Chains A and B, each alone.
Chain A
Amino acid sequence: MTFGVRLHIWGERACFTRPEMKVERVSYDVITPSAARGILEAIHWKPAIRWCVDRIHVLKPIRFESIRRNEVGHKLPASTVSKAMKAGRVDDVAYYVDQGRQQRAATVLRDVGYVIEAHFEFTSRADDSDTPGKHLDIFNRRARQGQCFHMPCLGTREFPASFALIESDEAMPSVDEQLAGERDLGFMLHDIDFANGKTPRFFRAGMRDGVIEVPPFAEALA
Chain B
Amino acid sequence: MSVIANRYEFVLLFDVTNGNPNGDPDAGNLPRLDPETNQGLVTDVCLKRKIRNYVALEQEGNAGYAIYMQEKSVLNNQHKKAYEALGIEPEAKKLPKDQAKARELTAWMCANFFDVRTFGAVMTTEVNSGQVRGPVQMAFATSIDPVVPMEVSITRMAVTNEKDLEKERTMGRKHIIPYGLYRVHGYISAKLGERTGFTEDDLELLWRALINMFEHDRSASRGEMSARKLIVFKHENPMGNAPAHTLFDRVQVKRVEGETDTPARYYSNYAVTVDRDELPSGITIDVRL
Partner-B contacts on A (CB < 8 A): 12-13, 65-72, 75-78, 81-82, 84-86, 88-91, 93-99, 103, 105, 110, 142, 145-151, 153, 157-160, 162-164
Contacts and interface: CB of A to CB of B under 8 A. Distances in A.
A58 B246 CA distance: 22
B83 A91 contact: yes
A13 B101 CA distance: 37
B126 A78 contact: yes
A111 B174 CA distance: 31
Contact of B124 (A12, A81, A159): A81
B20 interface: no
Contact of B72 (A75, A91, A98): A98
B140 A93 contact: no
B189 A69 contact: no
B79 A160 contact: no
Contacts of B45: 69-71, 158
A150 B192 contact: yes
Given A86-B92, A158-B44, A151 B124 contact: no
Contact of B25 (A69, A99, A151, A157): A69
A86 B192 CA distance: 27
Nearest to A151: B187
A84 B112 CA distance: 11
Tell me if A's interface is mostly helix, strand, loop or mixed: mixed
A177 B49 CA distance: 42
B245 to A, nearest CB: 4
Contacts of A76: 68, 109, 121, 123-124
B187 A160 contact: yes
A151 B244 contact: yes
A66 B239 contact: no
Given A67-B32, A148-B240, A149-B192, 19 more contacts: A12-B139, A68-B26, A70-B45, A76-B121, A78-B102, A82-B101, A82-B105, A90-B83, A90-B112, A91-B78, A93-B68, A94-B75, A95-B69, A148-B189, A150-B189, A150-B191, A157-B133, A158-B45, A160-B137
Nearest to B122: A75
Contacts of A146: 240-246
Interface of B: 24-26, 32, 34-36, 41, 43-45, 49, 66-72, 75, 78-79, 83, 85, 88, 90, 92, 101-102, 104-105, 108-109, 112-113, 121-126, 130, 133, 135, 137-140, 142, 185, 187, 189, 191-192, 237, 239-246
B123 A147 contact: no
Top 7 A-B pairs, shortest CB-CB distance: A146-B243, A78-B124, A150-B189, A88-B85, A147-B239, A68-B26, A162-B245
A157 B72 CA distance: 26
Nearest to A13: B140
Given A146-B243, A147-B240, A151-B187, A96 B90 contact: no
Contacts of B112: 90, 93
Contact of B70 (A69, A96, A157): A96
A86 B90 CA distance: 6
Contacts of A89: 79, 83
Given A85-B90, A150-B133, A160 B240 contact: no
Contacts of B124: 75-78, 81
A56 to B, nearest CB: 21
Nearest to A163: B243
A150 B137 contact: yes
Given A67-B43, A151-B189, A94 B70 contact: yes
Contacts of B241: 145-147
Contacts of B49: 97
Contact of A77 (B70, B92, B125, B237): B125
